[in-house]
Amino acid sequence: MNLLLATAPTVVFNPTLHYRYTDVGEVLGYLQRERPDWRFRFLDGLVVPVESAILREIVQGVDGLVLFSDVATAPATRRLATLANQLVADLPILVYGKGPLRIPAYFQRPPFTACHVDGDQEHAILSYFDALNGDGHPEGVVQVGGPPAYPGRRLGSALWGWADLEALPLESYRNLAILKKIPFELSIYPSKGCHRGCHYCDAPRHEGDVDRRRLPDALVAWTTEAVRRYRFDCVQLHSTDLAADPEWLKEFARAFVKAGSPFPWTCCVHGNTLTESHMDLMAASGCQRIGLGVESLIFQSNRGFKVSRRRLSQLASYARMRGLRLKGYIMAGLPGQTEYDLLDTYLFCLDQGIEPRVSTYTPFQELEGLDVSVLDQMDLERWDRKSFLVESQAMPVSTVIRMLVRPPDVEDWARERLAELTRRTG
Ligand code: SF4
């Protein structure tokens, strides 16, 4: 079996590379380990935005095409699949990623032949192609025009793949990092799953709602070798909430220190889970920066959409004492949020020494259940968490876009804008 994995070329506002390492690299690593006699290749439309290059590879003879898509790349993914189907009429084309999980109706039609809808993506992909080879039935996959899907399966962490870094265009990712002025960072899933179910988030659907974690010793050993061999600047332990399992965190810290603290790392946590003792463990084991979802504070109030102002201030103080950096993920355009709230949240983070990062509230839940004829008429490309800009009196787009782009004077501008708004309303 000769499979080509690809993402469709598309214009992007600000690409996030984490998913290339985790949702493509780790999937490839799993497939290669499970089927060592199959051939796999990955062409990333993000860094080789040339459709003809991908199509040429297809026409030269592959047994199947596996497309990774989110919602924003859905139209480009469908376009690539259509062209591929015109070249090779009976080509199996499976699509997976957060796009098919959010808007399955969009993908459950030709030219796609199969769509991942349930359970772990790597298992779904493997079971689909195994079934095409006459071995069993596909699990967690809807076959277009086929019988109802069998349920998917969640894999124990011992079965997760390690990213196949040779298959990823690392030099192009390194250049993208230089362009974005960020470190060249390897991402890995140390854990998957979140039970919280925030209405706008697709992590529980994608990763499941039960927390599953890699064994710390194996995680440290594999990552140490990957950093050494490919010269990454740091590692993102890409978890919904790394602090959700304190025992695991202790074990990880022990394994990390035993290995000689081999690489700097960053992580994400839930602001209401993180404690001082977590931070002690993190600081002692190579953590450089902790990201937490702030979403938004409420102007002139202690309350926030996710964490309170007091809590945020307390966490900032704990982090300062331990030399840890905090990054605060802010959402612009949340229902009920005002421009005051957004500016104030941004400035409060800065004043507390928290690095603010703004993305746009993107109401994916509103896409659910929409008919495909409606989805076809929508501008899905803006559903990318970065550029979903909706003009309103309470939240002008000009403010949001300035915070997304972060020009050098953004802090002064935000202070002046908040002062001006406050003066206007007395
Ligand atoms: S806590 Fe974070 S990962 Fe979990 S559902 Fe909410 S936003 Fe998603």
CATH number at residue 408: 3.20.20
Write down the pTM of the prediction: 0.92
Closest CA to 313 of 278, 264, 349, 343: 349
Centre of ligand 1 to C-alpha 200, Å, is: 9
- How many CA atoms, within 13 angstroms, populate the side-chain half-sphere of residue 170? 18
| DSSP code of residue 206 | H
| Cβ of 196 less than 6 Å from ligand 1 | yes
Closest CA to 191 of 219, 152, 168: 219
| Cβ of 211 less than 6 Å from ligand 1 | no
Residues 112 and 238 in one domain: no
Give the number of domains in the chain.
2
Q: Name residue 375's amino acid.
A: L
Q: Please report whether residue 188 resides in a domain.
A: yes
| Cβ of 197 less than 6 Å from ligand 1 | yes
Residue 115 phi/psi, 5-degree rounding, is -145, 125
pLDDT of residue 390: 85
Residues 255 and 120 in one domain: no
Centre of ligand 1 to C-alpha 251, Å, is: 24
Residues 220 and 306 in one domain: yes
Centre of ligand 1 to C-alpha 300, Å, is: 26
pLDDT of residue 375: 97
Q: Please report whether residue 21 resides in a domain.
A: yes
Closest CA to 234 of 286, 309, 171: 286
Q: Please report whether residue 161 resides in a domain.
A: no
pLDDT of residue 281: 92
pLDDT of residue 271: 85
| Cβ of 293 less than 6 Å from ligand 1 | yes
Burial of 379 by CB count in 10 Å (0-12 exposed, 13-18 middle, 19+ buried)?
exposed
Residues 207 and 346 in one domain: yes
Q: How far is CA 221 from the centre of its chain?
A: 24
Q: Please report whether residue 61 resides in a domain.
A: yes
Domain stops at, among 98, 128, 143: 143
Residues 48 and 193 in one domain: no
Rounded Cα gap, residues 314 and 302, in angstroms = 13
Q: Please report whether residue 150 resides in a domain.
A: no
CATH code assigned at 126? 3.40.50.2300
The H-assigned helical ranges of 70-195 are: 74-87, 98-102, 104-107, 121-132, 170-180
Rounded Cα gap, residues 318 and 367, in angstroms = 40
Residues 137 and 211 in one domain: no
| Cβ of 194 less than 6 Å from ligand 1 | yes
> Which of left, alpha, beta for 165 (phi over 0: left; psi -120 to 50: alpha)?
alpha
pLDDT of residue 426: 65
Closest CA to 222 of 156, 273, 157, 141: 157
Q: Please report whether residue 160 resides in a domain.
A: no
Domain extent, residue 379, equals 166-424
**Residues 6+ away with beta carbon under 8 Å from 174:** 184
| Cβ of 359 less than 6 Å from ligand 1 | no
Q: Chunked in runs of 10, what are the mean pLDDT values of the chain (426 residues)?
A: 85 82 97 96 86 86 94 95 93 96 95 96 97 94 92 96 96 93 95 87 90 97 97 95 94 95 94 90 93 94 93 95 96 94 97 96 91 95 88 90 92 95 82
pLDDT of residue 199: 79
| Cβ of 64 less than 6 Å from ligand 1 | no
Rounded Cα gap, residues 311 and 81, in angstroms = 48
Query: Which of 101, 195, 196, 359 to mutate for ligand 1's pocket (most ligand atoms within 8 Å of CB)?
Result: 196
Residue 297 token pair: 């504070």
Strand 39-44: give its sheet, edge to edge. 39-44, 2-7, 64-68, 93-96, 114-116, 141-143
Residues 203 and 136 in one domain: no
The residues pairing with 115 across neighbouring beta strands, listed in sequence order, are: 95, 142
Which atom from ligand 1 is nearest to the alpha carbon of 240? 3
Q: Cite the beta strand spans of 285-365 per DSSP E.
A: 287-295, 325-332, 354-360
Q: Please report whether residue 159 resides in a domain.
A: no
The three-point CA angle 142-144-149 to 5° equals 25
Q: Please report whether residue 263 resides in a domain.
A: yes
Residues 139 and 187 in one domain: no
Centre of ligand 1 to C-alpha 193, Å, is: 9
Helix or strand holding residue 8 (H, E): none
Residues 366 and 237 in one domain: yes
Residues 120 and 194 in one domain: no
| Cβ of 205 less than 6 Å from ligand 1 | no
Rounded Cα gap, residues 241 and 250, in angstroms = 15
